[in-house]
Amino acid sequence: MNLPRRRFLHLAAAAAALPAASSIAWAQAYPTRPVHIIVGLPPGLTPDIGARLIAHSLSERLGQQFVVDNRPGGASNIATELVVRAPPDGYTLLLVVAGNAIEAPLYANLSFNFLQDIVAVASIGHTPFVMVINPSVPAENLSEFIAYVKANPGTVNFGSPGAGSANHVFVELFKMVTGVNLVHVPYRSSMLPDLLSGQIQLLFAAIPGVIEYIRTGTLRALAVTTATRAAVLPDIPAINETVPGYEASGWLGIGAPKNIPDELVKRINQEITAVVADPIAKALLVGLGIEPMSMTPADFQIFMASEVEKWSKVVKFAGIKPE
């Protein structure tokens, strides 16, 4: 049978549109079964709680369970690899955090490439850290602290949960841009007892874990690490006000395996953006020390790439090696 040319072209165009229409319909129907959000951190940490808040809100909005699945270990690389190997169907997602961008240059022999194998889906928020010192350090502000350390190099110790942790690299960036000499003391348990007793003198910490000590004067807050002041500590200046250009913060969002359909990425992004914009969810995030931050998938991908580039320079400068 010979079809008229115009009729043939119409049929061909319709056939070509079928996959796109199918993809859109699939994204609109999503999810039809439980979704797992893989978290490479232990339960109870701020990013984990933030993920649970988002998961609960998504479950209510979409009528399917969004389940947080903690897979700590291997500096969160175990969780990342699990998602990299998962089907790209939107039912296995990854809580991406600042640590992923730090670990990308730190671990050279991984079986995956974070930026190539994980697709940015939606940002959730960023977490300001605060620079706190034991009051025994004779400095009332950041300028005095820098002057004191330069006059007494190697006498101020700072703690972290280990080499390559956010608490560690945020200080290494500070050292890089100020030229001060600070001594790193890694811990496998809480650093706070030694900070409070004066065994170590400095900590760059997530705000929720130290805010009560700041309020009571047990610890002295010198500055926050974000480019501007943090809403929860409006009277504490940003490091950037004294050291122009300094900026560091934790952040969290959602990633997925590569090759996930674009329409599905857009759908999940829209739902998470709506959750983050909801006044109740927003207030709960702020209460956790997470300042809401929404981006398009494309912008979030660019942001993640910029973070990897940034921390690659710090890792190289400080000569950080995985433990």
Q: Is residue 3 part of a domain?
A: no
Q: Which long-range contacts (CB under 8 A, 24 or more apart) does 63-66 make?
A: 64/31, 64/32, 64/33, 64/34, 64/35, 65/34, 65/35, 66/34, 66/35, 66/36, 66/37
Give one DSSP letter per residue of 13-30, joined into a string.
Answer: HHHHHHHHHHHHHHHHH-
State which residues form the domain around 115. Answer: 14-127+249-318
Peptide bond into 31 cis (omega under 30): yes
CA distance 159 to 36: 34
Number of domains in the chain: 2
Q: Which long-range contacts (CB under 8 A, 24 or more apart) does 148-156 make?
A: 149/180, 149/181, 149/182, 150/179, 150/180, 153/180, 153/181, 154/181, 154/183, 155/183, 156/182, 156/183, 156/201, 156/202
Whether 143 and 206 map to the same domain: the answer is yes
Whether 255 and 234 map to the same domain: the answer is no
Q: Is residue 120 part of a domain?
A: yes
Q: Is residue 5 part of a domain?
A: no
Q: Residue 211's CB: how many other CB atoms inside 10 A?
A: 18
CA distance 193 to 284: 28
* Domain finish residue from 221, 241, 261: 241
Q: Is residue 7 part of a domain?
A: no
Q: Is residue 323 part of a domain?
A: no
Place of tokens 């008229």: 4
Whether 120 and 254 map to the same domain: the answer is yes
> In a structure prediction context, what are the per-residue pLDDT tens digits for the chain, which is 323 residues long?
455 666 655 655 555 555 544 556 657 789 999 999 999 999 998 999 999 999 999 999 999 999 999 999 888 899 999 999 999 999 999 999 999 999 999 987 889 999 999 999 999 999 999 999 999 999 999 999 999 999 999 999 999 998 999 999 999 999 999 999 999 999 988 899 999 999 999 999 999 889 999 999 999 999 999 999 998 899 999 999 999 999 999 999 999 999 999 999 999 999 999 999 999 999 999 988 899 999 999 999 999 999 999 999 999 999 998 87
Structure token digits, residue 167 = 């608490």
CATH of the domain at 49: 3.40.190.150
118-120-125 Cα angle (round to 5):
125
CATH of the domain at 225: 3.40.190.10
Query: What beta strand segments (E) does the chain contain?
Result: 35-39, 66-70, 92-97, 118-133, 157-160, 183-186, 202-206, 220-224, 249-257, 291-292
Q: Is residue 9 part of a domain?
A: no
Whether 139 and 215 map to the same domain: the answer is yes
Q: Residue 218's CB: how many other CB atoms inside 10 A?
A: 15
Q: Is residue 184 part of a domain?
A: yes
Whether 292 and 258 map to the same domain: the answer is yes
